[in-house]
Amino acid sequence: MNKTRKTLLEKLFAEHGQALVRFVTRIVRSPEDAEDIAQYAYLRLQNLTEEKDLENPRAYLFQIANNLALDQLRRGKLHIDYVSQQLPVDSTGEDDQADHHSPERVLAARQQLQAIHEAMDSLPLKCRQAFLLHRNRGLSYTEIAEDMNISVSSVEKYILQALKVCRQKTGNF
């Protein structure tokens, strides 16, 4: 990284660090998560492969942070949806709370949730993004390809990769 780029990042951090954390906190509702996301946003900006000057580095930084925060929310929603799908539907109409909240079911749900977290965290960013756009937002492969500016073939490969990792980690999907 050249010196001017490093200076730009230091200046962005000094001038907008706290504002960025506040911005992300409003999205994820967790100051701790917001600080982590802000750090990842700075790292992502630092790791840009293109060495061109950005017209508005602050706006780009906030957009990166926004995307990271939304990815985290989508992962959380995916996990909640998955856990709720794993709870059995009582066909008799009776509410069997004891079975739903038994220590064994709670432990099994926590283990599955941890496996999903590990699966999602192990995926490359673009793979995770394509998978979540398809699963959470219901976008078609073509829509995802347009949104991510990649080919439909790449979307197919990313989603297949994500499904394979999820099956390996959880035995489901």
- Judged by DSSP in three states, 24 sits in helix
Give the least confident one: 13-17, 49-53, 81-85, 140-144: 49-53
| pTM for the structure as a whole | 0.47
pLDDT value of residue 133: 87
Task: Report the alpha-carbon angle 91-104-168, nearest 5.
Answer: 90
Who has greater pLDDT, 146 or 90?
A: 146
Span 62-118, pLDDT tens digits: 999 999 988 888 877 776 776 677 655 544 444 554 556 678 888 888 888 888 778
CA–CA distance, 142 with 155 (Å, rounded to integer): 8
Q: Which is nearest to 166 in space by CA: 127, 126, 140?
A: 127
CA–CA distance, 69 with 94 (Å, rounded to integer): 39
Q: Is the pLDDT of residue 150 over 80?
A: yes
